Amino acid sequence: MHELRVRYGECDPQGIVFNANYLLYFDVAFTELWREAVGPWTEMTERGIDAVVAETALRFRAPARFDDVIGIALRIERLGRSSIATAFDVVRGDDVLVEGTMRHVVLSRETWRPVEMPGWVRAGLEPYAAG
């Protein structure tokens, strides 16, 4: 669970978080999971490996507002040969505000094409993957 506080500039004239910004929040939470599981994102890119989002889906159930403290809970649903499927819940207290999924693909920074996930990435992520 990664916590953050909603910034004013992330909210729109309806007074709520503009929908695009939840993808920004997912990215922040995923980066923090990565730090804990594998290490800083930039250590990976320095080793010639990167990851990009191939697919995402979001369901907006209730709005977050300026200055709300929200949590982003995430769990890895599936580790494939070169892909990582993650589920996200944005919560405020007991309320689930947004549910989402993302599928990342691991790439070579030389060819920008998918590659098999290196062992040190897989080993880091496996403890976070769903049973």
Instruction: Please report how close the Cβ of residue 91 comes to its own copies at its closest, in angstroms.
Output: 18
| CA separation for the pair 97, 91 (Å, rounded) | 5
Nearer to its own copies, 28 or 123 (CB): 28
Instruction: Please report how close the Cβ of residue 14 comes to its own copies at its closest, in angstroms.
Output: 7
Nearer to its own copies, 34 or 125 (CB): 34
Instruction: Please report how close the Cβ of residue 32 comes to its own copies at its closest, in angstroms.
Output: 9
Beta bridge pairs of residue 51: 106
Question: With the C-alpha atoms ordered 35, 40, 42, 47, is the resulting torsion angle positive or negative?
Answer: negative
Q: What is the DSSP letter of 8?
A: G
Instruction: Please report how close the Cβ of residue 48 comes to its own copies at its closest, in angstroms.
Output: 14
Q: Count Cβ atoms below 10 Å from residue 100 Cβ, excluding itself.
A: 20
The binding site for its own copies (CB under 8 A) comprises 7-9, 11-15, 18-24, 27-28, 31, 40-42, 50, 52-60, 66-67
Residue of 77, 97, 103, 106 lying closest to 16 (CA atoms): 97
Nearer to its own copies, 52 or 130 (CB): 52
